[in-house]
Structure 1
Amino acid sequence: MSSLIVRDLFGGAITALTPANLVDASDLRQIPNTQEVFMYPDSSISIIVEILEKVEPLHFNDAIRFHFDSLAHDNTAVSATVDDVSVIPNDRGDDTPSAAVLSGIQSVRKFNQPTPDTVQILMALYRVERKNVDLVVTFNIPTQSNDGGAVGSQGLETAKSHFYSFVQSLHIVDYGLFI
């Protein structure tokens, strides 16, 4: 299991604990300025941190479900199921918002495969009200895959642990990031 480090996101405007061995996708391909994308080196797990315009639903539960449904649409998911939605309060004393957290499953066909992959989605939403921004963190964890990148139960538990460490440690250092 990889040790966790404090990683600078968006040039240090945000920090969070991540596995030390993550691959920064921007080293491999073009990534929009509104995203940070990381990949696990030994599986098809990916982490996306995205700055989005605040969506209309005002309640945390509805807003995070909106983002989950939007992701399912973007993935052309065959099915998408929400298992749980909760809130992780920020009790550190800084002004980073609390996070709404969602756990769900999406069945996604990749590269026109006849059998869809099963992907555990772990998503966190931080509503930055004063900047009209939704900061969304998504861990995509394939549990059944056609390309061999799926994780077993131990890999899933490790990824879940990493997700909760990431979410609980995320700190918005510089609100100037959100123009």
Structure 2
Amino acid sequence: MRTTSATRELFGGAITAVAPLNLIDASDLRQVPDTQEVFLYPDSSASIIVEILQRVDATDDEPAIRFHFDSLAHDNSALAFSVDAVAVIANTRGNGTPPATTLTGVQSVPKFNLTTPDQVRVLMALFRVADKNVDLVVTFNIPMNSQDDGAVSEEGQNVVRVHFDDFVTSLRIVDFGLFV
């Protein structure tokens, strides 16, 4: 699962971030909303979603990221979900990109009407763009056990975690006009 990474342009270059070169752009396979960028790992069911959302009312970042995590659990019809950790990563790159609030959690997600739900590690980052009323949410979904062959090994989970850290710490909003 070790891969070479490089800076990838998102949303037509309005955002950039370091990501593995071998990711599959989901828009090459299916329709993806204009407010999302979706990437798939070629050797597992791990995925990355970058989504532009309307800013939630929470004034503090921790309740805001927990809101987005809870919304994802609802959208996934999660039978159970829990948050392991929330942290803030300051932007030390000297650009106008807001700091990231990160969340690590697990969701128990039913799949294909099977009796045993998949356990999915969720790595989420929230970049709040207050003056544009936008929450930019980055989500890495990592199946830890799966009813199909898409589960990610423990070593693979560690690699994806490094990819998440690289993606979040390198993410740069180049053109704030994207959020009009």
The question of 1:146 aligning with 2:147 is answered yes
Give me the whole-angstrom Cα distance separating, in 2, the residues matched to 1:105 and 1:26.
26
Displacement after TM superposition at 1:148 (Å): 1.2
Displacement after TM superposition at 1:58 (Å): 1.0
The question of 1:171 aligning with 2:168 is answered no
Q: Report the counterpart of residue 52 of structure 2 in structure 1.
A: 51
Q: Report the counterpart of residue 102 of structure 1 in structure 2.
A: 103
The question of 1:23 aligning with 2:21 is answered no
Q: Report the counterpart of residue 33 of structure 1 in structure 2.
A: 34
Q: Report the counterpart of residue 77 of structure 2 in structure 1.
A: 76
Give me the whole-angstrom Cα distance separating, in 2, the residues matched to 1:50 and 1:110.
23
Find the residue that maps to 1:65 and give its secondary structure. helix
- How high is the TM-score relative to the length of structure 2? 0.99
Q: Report the counterpart of residue 61 of structure 1 in structure 2.
A: 62
Q: Report the counterpart of residue 120 of structure 1 in structure 2.
A: 121
Report percent identity of matched pairs: 62
Q: Report the counterpart of residue 136 of structure 2 in structure 1.
A: 135
Find the residue that maps to 2:7 and give its secondary structure. strand
Displacement after TM superposition at 1:89 (Å): 0.4
Displacement after TM superposition at 1:113 (Å): 1.2
Give me the whole-angstrom Cα distance separating, in 1, the residues matched to 2:156 and 2:31.
28
Give me the whole-angstrom Cα distance separating, in 1, the residues matched to 2:110 and 2:147.
9
Give me the whole-angstrom Cα distance separating, in 1, the residues matched to 2:16 and 2:138.
12
The count of corresponding residues between Structure 1 and Structure 2 is 179
Give me the whole-angstrom Cα distance separating, in 1, the residues matched to 2:165 and 2:59.
24
RMSD between aligned residues = 0.4
Displacement after TM superposition at 1:152 (Å): 1.2
Q: Which runs of 5+ in 1 are unaligned?
A: none
Residue identity matched to 1:165? D
Give me the whole-angstrom Cα distance separating, in 2, the residues matched to 1:102 and 1:58.
17
- How high is the TM-score relative to the length of structure 1? 0.99
Give me the whole-angstrom Cα distance separating, in 2, the residues matched to 1:155 and 1:84.
20
Displacement after TM superposition at 1:94 (Å): 0.4
